[in-house]
Structure 1
Amino acid sequence: MKVAAIQLVSTPRAADNLARAAHWVGEAAAAGAQFVALPEYFCLMGQQDEDKLGIAETLDTPGVIQHTLRDLARGHGIWLLGGTLPLRAASGKVTNTSLAYAPDGHLAARYDKIHLFSFNSGLGESYDEGRVQQAGQQPVAFDLGGWRTGLSICYDLRFPELYRALAPELICAPSAFTHTTGKAHWELLLRARAVENLAYVVAPAQGGTHENGRKTWGHTMIVDPWGEVLADVPEGEGMAVATLERRRLEAVRKALPCLQHRRL
């Protein structure tokens, strides 16, 4: 299966971001991708966290973000992972949610980010997603064209037990890693999750300096089950493209059957 992971440098303007997402999804489909994944916060990198509340949607009454994702999937006849978008929660906060759409446009899976990022460098750089976001509770895996696909988002990468629960063949990790943490840990974490689970990893990312002053690491990657980086977009808009090969997955799992050797 040919896959594409899209890298964006999203802005505080949702309409502009949706237009850029549509452009790159079209480019990926034209390149033959059967599955396309967008990054975390593809639809908005606001001036402040509370901006997410202003564009939040619900599944019961889908808005322009969900309609755009559905139409892109159906229009191009592809599987599409809509990075993340904010959905309203009963608490008054929002969930940071990945929605996966099938080639006919129907919603195939929903995952709400379980682990909420908090970071303070001590040098003026700090984040606390829990201020406006409500954590998800349920790990999610689904059948993506014959591939058992585990959904995760950004900070989830630091919690390997999540992926053990998913038992994935393909891991999706749309992200917006900070430049500081990304430089130190991004590739390390992606390759570790691939090797631990003997699974492919598709990790679309935000990558550049945003209008709100935040700088994200980028390096959108596709990693194979042996931990080899198949494609990498360093910085700026672009896409990583690679082919997932079931024979490769099966060969690696046969040569190193560590998933069968688990005792805990």
Structure 2
Amino acid sequence: MSAPVKVALFQMTSGIDPLVNAAAIVDGARKAAGNGAAMLFTPEMCGLLDRNRARATAHIVAERDNPVLAAARDAARELGLWIDLGSLAILRDDGKWANRGFVLDPDGEIAARYDKIHMFDVDLASGETWRESAAYTPGEAVVTVETPVGRLGMAICYDIRFPALFEELGRRRCDAIRIPAAFTVPTGSSHWHLMQRARAVEASAWVISAAQGGSHEDGRETFGHSLVVDPWGEVIYDGGEGGSLGYAMIDPARTGDVRAQLPSLANKREIPRSAS
């Protein structure tokens, strides 16, 4: 990648019907391609957002049977567009569930898969309780993939709170990192912008984070504010609240400038571990 690349971020308010969500993603892809974007980014759980796991079970199927993945692959192929599906709920071969992100190339092929490593198991002061690990199995692999924005590192939502993952993505010299999310309002209002900017700075990389935003059919509220942050930590796009389709330019020259001024990746040393 040498010239600036236009990307689209689709901020969604996904619901409990995968076919409705799939139609929205395809419509967003058409608009993104029509406006000259090389790549579309969608949020975490863009195909199904349903906290009622008994109701959701019927829609959590294997990759080959997932209608959202199929629709996005067809759209990528038709439009010649790269599509980053933030994540889908997928039935694994062993019968367990995965929170899995996909990068699709312009031929509609799956260029990369990433299973969310860190599970959101929390009890918030607001009274919200979440136990992602009760349904989903964590991933075990760090994933990067070559895309129009350069080498793209993959993370999902709660992963953002664990610096070791981003240290590894920095070590792999990622040009950009995608962090799709369905952040709660309490955590988002306090930590979303702060952590997105921190991850961009420590990896000296662009951060591209499509988010869920608004009031959902299953009763939850998500924070929104899809972001693009440059390697200096400057926010160059903020999607605000609710649903939106927005655009940003990813400029590789900016990455080179930042890494030349602050060569933290080159200066990094291993921290000695205490014997005590």
* Smaller-chain TM-score bracket: over 0.9
Contact 1:83 1:174 in 2 (8 A): yes
Residue ranges of structure 1 left out of the alignment (5+ in a row):
none
Is the aligned partner of 1:225 residue 2:231?
yes
- For 2:94 and 2:215, the matched residues in 1 are separated by 32
* 1:81 match: 84
One-letter code aligned to 1:144: T
Is the aligned partner of 1:201 residue 2:207?
yes
- For 2:123 and 2:193, the matched residues in 1 are separated by 21
Is the aligned partner of 1:12 residue 2:16?
yes
Contact 1:12 1:47 in 2 (8 A): no
DSSP-derived class of the 2:53 partner: coil
After TM superposition, the structure 1 = structure 2 runs for residues 1-150 of structure 1, keeping only pairs within 5 Å, are: 1-59=5-63, 61-145=64-148, 147-150=150-153
108-117 vs 42-51, which moves further: 42-51
DSSP-derived class of the 2:26 partner: helix
DSSP-derived class of the 1:42 partner: coil
One-letter code aligned to 2:255: L
Change (3 A) 1:146 1:207: closer
One-letter code aligned to 2:266: Q
Number of aligned residue pairs: give it. Answer: 263
- For 1:244 and 1:146, the matched residues in 2 are separated by 7
One-letter code aligned to 1:247: A
TM-score, normalised by the number of residues in structure 2: 0.91
Change (3 A) 1:229 1:149: same
- For 1:27 and 1:235, the matched residues in 2 are separated by 20
DSSP-derived class of the 2:213 partner: coil
Change (3 A) 1:162 1:75: same
One-letter code aligned to 1:30: G
- For 1:51 and 1:102, the matched residues in 2 are separated by 32
Give the deviation of 1:235 after TM superposition.
Answer: 1.1
Residue ranges of structure 2 left out of the alignment (5+ in a row):
271-276
TM-score, normalised by the number of residues in structure 1: 0.95
One-letter code aligned to 1:58: A
- For 2:20 and 2:236, the matched residues in 1 are separated by 30
One-letter code aligned to 1:177: F
1:165 to 164, 168, 176: 168
Give the deviation of 1:87 after TM superposition.
Answer: 1.6
Contact 2:178 2:209 in 1 (8 A): yes
* 2:273 match: none
Contact 1:153 1:173 in 2 (8 A): yes
* 1:153 match: 156
2:262 to 256, 260, 263: 256
DSSP-derived class of the 1:83 partner: strand
Q: Percent identity?
A: 38
Give the deviation of 1:122 after TM superposition.
Answer: 4.2
1:6-53: CA deviations, max 9, x gaps? 100011111111111111121111111101111011111115134443
Change (3 A) 1:156 1:50: farther
Contact 1:221 1:240 in 2 (8 A): no
DSSP-derived class of the 1:24 partner: helix
Task: Point out 4+ residue stretches in structure 1 off by more than 3 angstroms.
Answer: 49-52
1:75-128: CA deviations, max 9, x gaps? 111111112111213553300000110011111000000001012124421101
